[in-house]
Structure 1
């Protein structure tokens, strides 16, 4: 069975459906590349997927060690290169509880940096990951 199916809906937009759940994601070309920027662009999804994967793996590790991840969040920013047009860098900034011990912080940070998406991206894409312990 496929992971997802997608179709082009016109005007630089796509509609993708996750096969197992039926969840739909729409994409739109970004404004700086002839689109309307009214939905995630495919490169936005790559960037958000990096943060979401990191957070998911941190969550798995946190559950294993009985750490509370409630309220943990991230912000992601992508930087594009022009020749060729591609993602050059992804910045991911996490906010985590200040109450985490140094040992737990190291555990979660390692989990984030070794998530499947981080390990799958082309090594030419810089991944700048910051962890702020201010929740």
Structure 2
């Protein structure tokens, strides 16, 4: 069974439907690549997927150890290069609870860096990850 069914809607837009849930995601080509920039670009999704995967794996570890991460936030930024056009770097900045101890921080940071998306990206895509304990 497929994970997603995707339809090209024209004008550089796609509509992906998650088969199991019916949830949809639109993509548009970015403004700097002939698009309208009205939705995530495919490379935006890759960047968001990296942060989301890291957060999900940290959440799994936190639940296993009775840690509370609700309210944690993160931002992602991607850096593109032109030749060939590709993602050169993804920056992820997490804001986590300040109450987490040193042992918990190491455990969570290691979990994030070893998430499946992080391990699946080409090694040429630099991953800059910051963990800020300020919540």
Shorter-chain TM-score range: over 0.9
- Cα distance in 1 between the residues matched to 2:75 and 2:28: 20
Q: Which runs of 5+ in 1 are unaligned?
A: none
Q: Deviations over 1:24-67 (max 9, x none)?
A: 00000000001111000000000000000000000000000000
Say yes or no: does 1:47 pair with 2:14: no
Say yes or no: does 1:68 pair with 2:68: yes
SS at match of 2:21: coil
The TM-score with structure 2 as length reference comes to 0.99
- Cα distance in 1 between the residues matched to 2:131 and 2:32: 30
- Cα distance in 2 between the residues matched to 1:7 and 1:106: 42
- Cα distance in 2 between the residues matched to 1:69 and 1:105: 11
The TM-score with structure 1 as length reference comes to 0.99
Output the aligned Cα RMSD: 0.3
Runs of 4+ in 1 over 6 A off after TM superposition: none
Q: Which runs of 5+ in 2 are unaligned?
A: none
- Cα distance in 1 between the residues matched to 2:128 and 2:100: 22
SS at match of 2:80: strand
Say yes or no: does 1:117 pair with 2:117: yes
SS at match of 1:5: strand
Q: What is the deviation of 1:92?
A: 0.2
Aligned residues: 135
